[in-house]
Every structure is written in structure tokens, then in C-alpha cells.
Amino acid sequence: MAAANLLDFDLEGMAAFCERLGEKRFRATQLFRWIHQKGAGDFAQMSDLAKSLRDKLAGAATIPPLRVISEHTSADGTVKWLFDVGAGDAIETVFIPEDDRGTLCISSQAGCAVGCRFCSTGHQGFSRNLSTGEIVAQLWHAEHALRKRSNTEDRVISNVVMMGMGEPLQNYAALVPALRIMLDDHGYGLSRRRVTVSTSGVVPMIERLRHDCPVALAVSLHAPDDTLRNDLVPINRKYPVAELLAACKRYLDTAPRDFITFEYCMLDGVNDSPTQAQALVTLLRRAQLPCKFNLIPFNPFPASGLLRSPRERVVAFAKTLQAAGFVTTIRKTRGDDIDAACGQLAGEVQDRTRVQQRLRRIPVITQPAAGA
Ligand code: SAH
Ligand code: SF4
């Protein structure tokens, strides 16, 4: 029997694994605490388990870390890791410190099949789904690396956003156990309100998530009508705006927050006009859907052929939404100097040579890749 990856298991899965080993189910809680709360990567560290059990575990299971290709820290404190997930695939994870919280932006897939026009992951295409263990290992690595760095045993990461590479709701089977591990009091103990799944709008899976594991929901809208959204976010051809908004409304029945966050990437001359802002107001008023807007300044990359909206237009767009009573924020770009901003996460991955060149140029603390 192949060794089990313990990072793949939610608490229920871990209990079932313990039973298969001929152990009591409560061992699962002990293992969870050692792995997720204390960051143990080795059974020898688990000092309150009998030596015989530790040996048994070592023969039957592993706690495999992700291989770090690089770790960069931006001048603003943002940290970006590039992890090797094998077969030429790399994924990125970004930590964004703020005064009152620490947010980790996690990837769910290597590449993405949705193919949004403004997203460099989308341009890269789909490679594969990440396993639960690979999704959780990003949090495991970041949390314990950051604790070590600031020499603390206190929790560093308070919020998780599934806004890295990939469409989380197209990797549903792996996502749900990963969310449960994040929420579990014996795991990372994160509040449901502080774990956000961001989706381009996979309607049937929004439906399932509200039953299986309701967490905060962000929806990448980017357009006020189907014609434009079909072009920018191709999954809209399958699940048009009206269906998406109806699914969002139903989601609120069980959601831990009483609003949906709409992300809207501001593209010069494409979706940023005053008429489009007004159309968005009309759309959401008609839908009677409690929501907030998060306007994201587009992070350009050459293959997109798109440009960032000028600041004045973003501000004007925000004012129209605010005047209509919608809470609207303009996302600060963080980690610009290390290309850690939204939609830039895949750029480096495509061309490893460029990564190497860039690593040498980066004027910030650069740590050598572990194991490289
Ligand atoms: N696939 C999910 C989550 C990952 S993308 C989704 O689409 O929601 C996370 C956010 O980054 C999305 O809102 C996406 O629209 C935005 N984004 C992608 N590329 C971007 C870019 N080049 N500039 C700014 N935001 C971008
Ligand atoms: Fe995929 Fe999200 Fe990028 Fe669209 S924006 S291609 S759904 S990662």
C-alpha cells in the first residue's frame, strides 16, 4: 500500500485512516494538532505519541512539503513563494500582511482552463488540478515559515483567499477537504468569514458549496452584461450573468457573510466607462442582491493586448457605484516589485529562464530556493 499523504485528510479522513491502521479515531486529533498547529513534518517530533505508533506511522504515511523554487519578500512585506509541483509545473502562493490581519492567497490548480482574457494564468492554459495535500501544503508552509521568521508561536495567517492560480470550483473534490482543514479548530481554526473562495462563476458548484462548506464568496464579474462577459470570462457562455446572480442569491441563505463580493478588473476602454458603471448599478439593483465591489486595477502583461484603466476612471467608476449605495473598494496593488499582484502569478512560471534572470535583478531580500 502506498504511503498516505496526511495533508490530504480532513479530520474525518484522518480518523478513518487511523482506524485502517488499527488505531483509535481520537489519534486523528493529535495528528492534526501536530501537523497543522505545530507544523510537524516528521513523526519523530510527535513526542506524546508512543514510539511504536510513531514507527508505525512512519511506515504508512508521509507529510510531504512542497519544494520551494523561490521565496521573495517585497519592500511592503508581501511574501511570494514559487513551489515546484512536479513535471515542470509551478504554483504561487502570496502572503499579504496588513495592520489587522495576515492574508494568504492560495492556488488551486496548475494553470486554469477558464481562459479569461486579462489573466496570465488563463493564457497559460490548464495543466492539472492540485490535490488537497498540495492546496493545504501552501498554508502549512507559509504559516510555519512565517512563524519561524518572526520567532513567534502565535498564528500569523488569519485569512485565506483562494485567489491564486486556478479556478477553485473546477477542482471541487480537492477544495472542500482543504477548506475543512483550514476551518477545523484542531487544524488552522480560521473563521468561515475569513476564508474566501473566489470564482469566475461555476454555477453548479456555487450551489454545492453552500451545502458542503459555506465560506465567504467572491465572484469575478468584470462586466455588466453577457455580451462583454462572454468575451472576457468565457465560462459566462455556459453560465450567463442572470444564472450566476441567482446562484449568488441562493448562496447567501447559508453563507457566513450577508453579502457577495464582486471583483471587477478595470480594463482601459473595455469595461470602465460611466455607462458601464451605470449598467452595473442597474443590474445589481434589479437582482436585489446584497453585495460589495472590489475594483482591481488591471496588471498588464503583453500577451493580453489590454491596458490598465487610468486612475481617474477607476475612481469615477467607484464613485458611481458608491453613489448608488454599494460599498466599493479599489484594491491596493501589493508586492508590485516582486510581481505578486493579481494575475501576475503565472508570468514567471511559463519561462523558468526569465525567473532566473529576474531573481538576480530583484532588489529585495531574496532567499535561496530550498533544496536548489
Ligand atoms: N479563478 C478564480 C480565482 C483566481 S483569479 C477567479 O477568477 O475568481 C483571482 C482574481 O484575480 C480574479 O478576480 C481575477 O479576475 C483577478 N485577475 C486575474 N488576472 C488579473 C490581472 N491581470 N490583473 C488584475 N486582476 C486579475
Ligand atoms: Fe482562471 Fe480566474 Fe484567471 Fe479566469 S481569472 S483564467 S478563472 S484564474
Residue 165 · residue 345 · CB < 8 Å:
yes
Range of lowest pLDDT (68-82, 293-307, 339-353): 339-353
pLDDT of residue 313 exceeding 80: yes
pLDDT of residue 332 exceeding 60: yes
- Give the tens place of pLDDT for each residue, 132-162: 999 999 999 999 999 999 999 999 999 999 9
d(CA 268, CA 93): 28
Neighbours of 368 (CB within 10 A): 10
Q: Where are the alpha helices (DSSP H) in the chain?
A: 11-20, 27-32, 51-60, 120-124, 132-149, 172-183, 203-212, 226-232, 241-251, 274-287, 311-323, 347-350, 352-361
pLDDT of 363: 28
The ligand minimizing its distance to the Cα of 264 is 1
- Give the tens place of pLDDT for each residue, 234-256: 999 999 999 999 999 999 999 99
**Class of 4-62 per CATH?**
mainly alpha
Q: Which three cell numbers stand for residue 93?
A: 502562493
Q: Which amino acid is at 330?
A: I
Distance 103 CA to ligand 2 centre (A): 20
Mean pLDDT value of segment 79-93? 97
Going by pLDDT thresholds of 50, 70 and 90, the confidence category of residue 344 is: low
The ligand minimizing its distance to the Cα of 301 is 1
pLDDT of 319: 98
Distance 113 CA to ligand 1 centre (A): 13
> Per-domain residue ranges for the chain?
4-62, 67-355
d(CA 366, CA 75): 11
Residue 294 · residue 262 · CB < 8 Å:
yes
- How is 136-164 classified by DSSP, letter by letter? HHHHHHHHHHHHHHTT--S----EEEE-S
Neighbours of 20 (CB within 10 A): 11
Residue nearest (by alpha carbon) to ligand 1 atom 21: 343
Ligand 1 contacts CB of residue 167 (under 6 A): yes
Mean pLDDT value of segment 19-39? 97
- How is 293-332 classified by DSSP, letter by letter? EEEEE----GGG---BPPHHHHHHHHHHHHHTT-EEEEPP
Active site residues: 92, 342
Q: Phi and psi for 284 in degrees, rounded to 5? A: -80, -25
pLDDT of 108: 98
Residue 203 · residue 239 · CB < 8 Å:
yes
pLDDT of residue 350 exceeding 70: no
Domain 67-355: which CATH number of 1.10.4080.10, 3.30.230.70, 3.20.20.70, 3.40.309.10: 3.20.20.70
Q: To the nearest whole number, what is the mean pLDDT of the chain?
A: 91
Count of alpha carbons within 13 Å of 39, Cβ hemisphere only?
16
Rg (CA), the chain: 21
Residue nearest (by alpha carbon) to ligand 1 atom 22: 343
Q: Cα 194 to chain center, whole Å?
A: 12
Q: Atom of ligand 1 at shortest distance to CA of 162?
A: 3
pTM of the model: 0.92
- Give the tens place of pLDDT for each residue, 154-209: 999 999 999 999 999 999 999 999 999 999 999 999 999 999 999 999 999 999 99
Mean pLDDT value of segment 110-125? 96
Residue 151 · residue 265 · CB < 8 Å:
no
d(CA 96, CA 143): 12
pLDDT of residue 126 exceeding 50: yes
Q: Which residues of 201-223 are buried (b: 16+ CB within 10 A; e: fewer)?
A: bbbebbeebbeebbbbbbbbbbb
Residue 291 · residue 251 · CB < 8 Å:
no
Angle between helices 172-183 and 11-20 (to 10 degrees): 100
Going by pLDDT thresholds of 50, 70 and 90, the confidence category of residue 337 is: confident
pLDDT of residue 362 exceeding 50: no
pLDDT of residue 354 exceeding 50: no
Going by pLDDT thresholds of 50, 70 and 90, the confidence category of residue 359 is: very low
> Percent of the chain scored above 70 by pLDDT?
91
Q: Cα 354 to chain center, whole Å?
A: 24
d(CA 279, CA 80): 37
- Give the tens place of pLDDT for each residue, 274-299: 999 999 999 999 999 999 999 999 99
Q: Which three cell numbers stand for residue 183?
A: 476551518
**DSSP 3-state of 281:** helix
pLDDT of 342: 61
pLDDT of 171: 98
Q: Atom of ligand 1 at shortest distance to CA of 218?
A: 8
Distance 101 CA to ligand 2 centre (A): 25
pLDDT of 367: 29
Mean pLDDT value of segment 64-75? 97
